[in-house]
Structure 1
Amino acid sequence: MAAVLSGCNLLPASGPYSVEVRNPQTQDTDGVGYKLVPMTSNVVKVLAQLDSQGLIGTFRNDRGPIPDVKIGIGDLVGVSIFEASSGGLFIPAEAASRAGNFVDIPVQQVDSNGNISVPYAGQVKAAGLRPSQVQDTIVERLRNRAIEPQAVVTVKDQRSNSVTVLGEVSAPIKFPLTSNGERVLDAISRAGATPNKDYDMFVTLQRGGRDATISFRRLVREPANNIYLQPNDILYIYARARTYLAFGASGKQGQFPFNDDSISLSEAIGKAEGLNDGQADPQSVFLFRIETRETLRRMGVDVADVQEERVPTIYTLNLREPTGFLLATKVPMRNKDVVYIANAGSVELTKFLNLVLLGATTVESMASTNTYLYGAN
């Protein structure tokens, strides 16, 4: 009887009936199809792995020693050339006419072809090379013309190997990388992050067409995510108070803040004061969110009929079983998730019986009124 009543739209309710959520025929209403995914250990494992990736997960292939900073197009480069004695190309025979045994080539910018110009050596390739490699090229070209030449190449102003820090910082900055190696937190400290609750602060790193986001608190807590920066990286710092929604037969309904860098599904249900003991169906706890097609595929969900990259998904959790609580502790919540707890079937039956009783009482009251006004006849 409760199952029949579940399809009745005349009864008041705070959301869809559990049988409607699970009914395949309702999973493509108005062209908004969704995938129904039961919470299993494999599903929870995939979700936990996604949440734990951080920066090191996305840029794992970039992990390694300090980046090798090289000369790039646009850099300002200085060259000094030494000779062993006077009378060569650069040092006049009259040694007293000038001090020192070297000459400084005017600082010049690496041109669009990646070259610099050195007298008697011609156009020398510099872009993509270390200063020591450019030095070797200059010495080799001058070896038969100058007296035991030596060269020193220095980058006066590094414009190509820079990192940009934007967003909610005291002073957005673009600075060059050095051979010491700068990490993510080094760049943030240079720009001066604005004072916010650390669990509401997030850092997005963009690199080579890829990007990854991590909370500031987690970045500090997990040193592995404080990775070395690479040339042309962009860091975006922002603050965002993350929230989720709880509806249905929970102790409280509404919007709830995370107030932490991460919370689990069990904590989210707890913040909403758990399940209403006189109303909720523990077998019908639903988590609504948008998942990627690849994530669903990793969970073993059939996505052959899905063309879109982002798929509306409803996870079902059974808190009637003890393992349901254990699984919920491992499911990380995301910003704007929706938790919905359906009513138990007996609640719908009670609503229906109350409606019948109300109708019967109304009819009886009307009959009594008619008898009083017009008599038994």
Structure 2
Amino acid sequence: MKIVTTRRALLTGLSATLLTASCGLPRPGPNKREIFAGSVMRQGDAFVVKVNDFVTRETAVQPALGFSSKFLNAGQLGSDTIRPGDTLSLTIWENVDDGLLANKGANATQLQQVQVDGAGYIFVPYAGRIKAAGNTPDGLRRVITSKLDAQTPDPQVLVNRVAGDGATVSIMGAINGQGVYPIERPTRTLSAMIAKAGGVSIPAEVARIIVKRGTQSESVWLKDLYDNPKMDIALRNNDVILVEKDQRAFTSLGATGAQARVPFETQTLSALEAIATVGGLQSNLADPTGVFVFRNEPAEIAMKVLGRTDLVGDQRMIYVLDLTEPNGMFLARDFAIRDGDTVYVTEAPFVQWQKTLSALTAPLGTANTLNNLAGN
């Protein structure tokens, strides 16, 4: 009886020693027990939720990019529409030998480099100040002809648009040809202008196109621009087009192949893809039953997931994935990772025991080595 009691005391002491030793050992983060201890159900400040099909559906929210009706409904600019800053060339024929404008012995007059002023007007001798902006060359021809008709019999007018300094867009960012480009007949839409500038210099899957028009700024994914012709908006004078790489990222921690902040490489990213992106789980360390996703969830989504109606503001949510369950891999494939998420994989329980035993037995091994050296 005394021997049994002694053994129990030894085992209890050993367990206490192991537990105490394990608390001070290095590790990548909390274990499953510690994470669950932080649950609201245990007076913590985070909701711990096991992922199932319902949770994957309710949390599958991705940033929706696209243009508003104001951008979508803007019609294309006519390629011949005259704008402030344009330069025109006028040729005027008069049906008399001694006309108003022509030199003696000639019946045609050329007015080169006629600049459309900032208010959109030009000056034509004997016709006066005429509104040119908003007209086509043919429309302006008719206006000038009408004005001169009272001054000289049967005038004939030819109007050419020489250059368009007013209708331009600026393109910058991850584009092969940054610069200022005129809006011309082939480049009146967003996709055409991007092509004119040499296309984007980053993978299309992570390219975001931002269009700033006045005080309004809107954006679209490049892939959506190509897949949905409706998003190929007409451009306007002074539009600024910025091409930038997707700024979204998640953080990988714990027993994964990398501890890092990882940028998104596609528009959508699942938990399974996120794990694969960082090299998968470390087979000698990871606990496949302890894959956690930490997130600040908007109240409207959190209330759907939790079946509550009393939450206000972002909620701390911890989603739990167990890859060993029959459908665990499917759930990980369907669960969407969002910008700012932290994917954390706990270590397997036996790993901490191994570390503890190694910590306890290492001094004994060192002592034996020293004794052997002393005996020699």
Q: TM-score w.r.t. structure 2 length? A: 0.63
Identify which range, 17-26 or 206-215, moves more after superposition: 17-26
Structure 2 residue aligned with 1:285: 292
Q: Name the structure 2 match of 1:68.
A: 77
Take 2:178 and 2:150, find their aligned partners in 1: how far apart are those partners?
50
User: 2:147 matched to 1:141?
Assistant: yes
Corresponding residue for residue 372 of structure 1: none
CA RMSD of aligned residues (A): 5.1
**What CA distance in whole angstroms lies between the structure 1 residues aligned with 2:137 and 2:309?**
55
CA shift at 1:19, angstroms? Answer: 2.5
1:341 aligns with 2:311: no
SS of residue paired to 1:329: helix
- What does residue 31 of structure 1 align with? none
SS at match of 1:79: strand
- For 1:19, which of 21, 36, 58 is the aligned residue? 36
Distance 1:296 1:302 in 2: 9
**Alpha carbons 2:271, 2:332 under 8 Å: kept:** yes
Other structure's SS at 1:135 match: helix
Alignment of 1:207 onto 2:212:
yes
The offset of 1:260, in angstroms, is: 4.6
Q: 1:316 aligns with which of 319, 344, 361?
A: 319
**What secondary structure is seen at the aligned counterpart in 2 of 1:40?**
helix
In the alignment, which residue of structure 2 is the partner of 1:370? none
Distance in 2, Cα, partners of 1:260 & 1:296? 26
The structure-2 alpha-carbon separation of the partners of 1:125 and 1:255, relative to structure 1 and needing over 3 Å to count, comes to same
Distance 1:313 1:165 in 2: 40
Displacement of 1:27 in angstroms is 4.6
Aligned to 1:97: 105
Distance 1:295 1:151 in 2: 67
Distance in 2 separating the partners of 1:35 and 1:110: 67
Matches of 1:76 and 1:266, distance apart in 2: 59
Q: Note closer, same or farther for the CA distance 1:283–1:189 as it changes in structure 2 (3 Å cut).
A: same
- Whichever of the two has the greater Rg, that structure is 2
SS in 1 for 2:117: coil
CA displacement, residues 120-153 of structure 1 (integer Å, 9 cap, x when unaligned) = 2221122344334433332333333333344433
- Secondary structure of 1:67's aligned partner: coil
Q: In the aligned structure 1, how far is the partner of 2:310 from the partner of 2:123? A: 59
Counterpart check, 1:86 vs 2:96: yes
Structure-2 separation of matches of 1:182 and 1:298? 45
Which of 329, 332, 337 aligns to 2:333? It is 329
Amino acid aligned to 1:160: G
Post-superposition Cα deviations, 1:314-367, rounded to whole Å, max 9, x if no partner, equal 5625446666654543555567653123468xx39x9599979x99x9xxx9xx
Q: 2:189 and 2:336 mapped to 1: Cα distance? A: 27
Pick one of 102, 107, 119 that aligns with 2:125: 119
Matched, 1:173 2:179: yes
Distance in structure 2 (CA, Å) of the matches to 1:238 and 1:224: 21
Query: 1:76: Cα distance to partner?
Result: 1.9
Gaps of 5+ in 1: 29-33, 366-377
CA contact (8 A) 2:97 2:106 kept: no
**C-alpha displacement at 1:177, in angstroms?**
0.9
- Residue of structure 1 in register with 2:370 after alignment: none
- Look up the SS of the partner of 2:185 in the other structure: coil
Q: 1:46 to 1:336 in 2, by over 3 A?
A: closer
How far, CA to CA, are the matches of 1:234 and 1:158 in structure 2?
A: 17
- Cα deviation for residue 255 of structure 1 reads 3.2
Q: Give the match for residue 230 of structure 1.
A: 235
Q: Output one character per residue of 1:88-144: Cα deviation in whole Å (capped at 9) or x when no partner.
A: 85466x9x91265xx322322222222111222221122344334433332333333
1:79 maps to amino acid: L
Q: Match of 2:333, as an amino acid?
A: T
Instruction: State, as a whole percentage, how many aligned pairs show the same letter.
Output: 19
Aligned in 2, Cα 1:337/1:354: closer, same or farther, shift over 3 Å? closer
Contact in 1 for aligned 2:293/2:343 (Cα 8 Å):
yes
CA distance 1:292–1:234, shift in 2 (3 Å): farther
Q: Cα distance 1:20–1:108, how it changes in 2: closer, same or farther (>3 A)?
A: farther
For 1:46, what is the secondary structure of its paired residue? coil
Q: Is the 8 A contact 2:48 2:319 kept in 1?
A: no
Residues 33-77 of structure 1, C-alpha deviations (whole Å, 9 max, x = no match) = x99997735434432xx3xx55xx235653469711433322223
Please give the secondary structure, in 2, of the residue aligned with 1:97. coil
